[in-house]
A and B are shown apart, each in its own frame.
Chain A
Amino acid sequence: MNEMYLKFPSLSENEVFARNAVAAFVLPLNPTLTELSDVKTAVSEAVTNAIVHGYGGAAEGWIELKCRTDGDLLEIEVADRGRGIEDVARALTPFFTTLPGEERSGMGFTIMQTFMSGFSVSSAPGEGTRVKMSKRFGELEANAG
Chain B
Amino acid sequence: MNLQGSRRGDNLYIYLSGELDEHSVAKVRERADKLIDDNAGLSRAVFNLAGLRFMDSTGIGFLIGRYKRLKKYGMDMYLENPDAGADKVLSISGLYSLMPKI
B56: interface (CB < 8 Å): yes
Most buried by A among B19, B58, B88, B93: B58
Q: Are B65 and A103 in contact (CB under 8 A)?
A: yes
Residues of chain B contacted by A38 (CB below 8 angstroms): 88
Interface pair A48/B22, CB less than 8 Å apart: yes
Closest CB-CB distance, B51 to chain A, in whole Å?
16
Contact A37 B84 (CB under 8 A): yes
* B84 with A107: CB separation less than 8 A: no
The size bracket of the interface on A is: 20 to 34
Stretch at the interface among A8-16, A120-128, A131-139: A8-16
Across-interface contacts of A108 in B (CB, < 8 A)? 56-57
Nearest-neighbor residue (CB-CB) of A12 within chain B: B23
Residues of A within 8 A of B89 (CB): 41, 107, 111
Which residues on the B side are within 8 Å of A19 (C-beta)?
Answer: 54
Cβ contacts under 8 Å, B84 to chain A: 33-34, 37
A51 & B64 in contact (Cβ 8 Å cutoff): no
Q: Select B64's contact among A34, A40, A103, A115, beta carbons within 8 Å.
A: A103
B74 within 8 A of A: no
B61, CB-defined interface residue at 8 Å: yes
Asked if A44 meets B56 with Cβ closer than 8 Å, knowing A34-B84, A51-B22, A103-B65, the reply is yes
A interface with B by C-beta (< 8 Å): 12-13, 15-16, 19, 33-34, 37-38, 40-41, 44-45, 48, 51-52, 102-105, 107-108, 110-111, 114-115, 145
Q: What would 20 more interface pairs be, CB under 8 Å, given A16-B19, A37-B84, A111-B92?
A: A16-B54, A19-B54, A33-B84, A38-B88, A41-B85, A41-B89, A44-B21, A45-B56, A51-B22, A103-B29, A103-B61, A103-B62, A105-B60, A105-B93, A107-B57, A107-B93, A108-B56, A108-B57, A111-B57, A145-B88
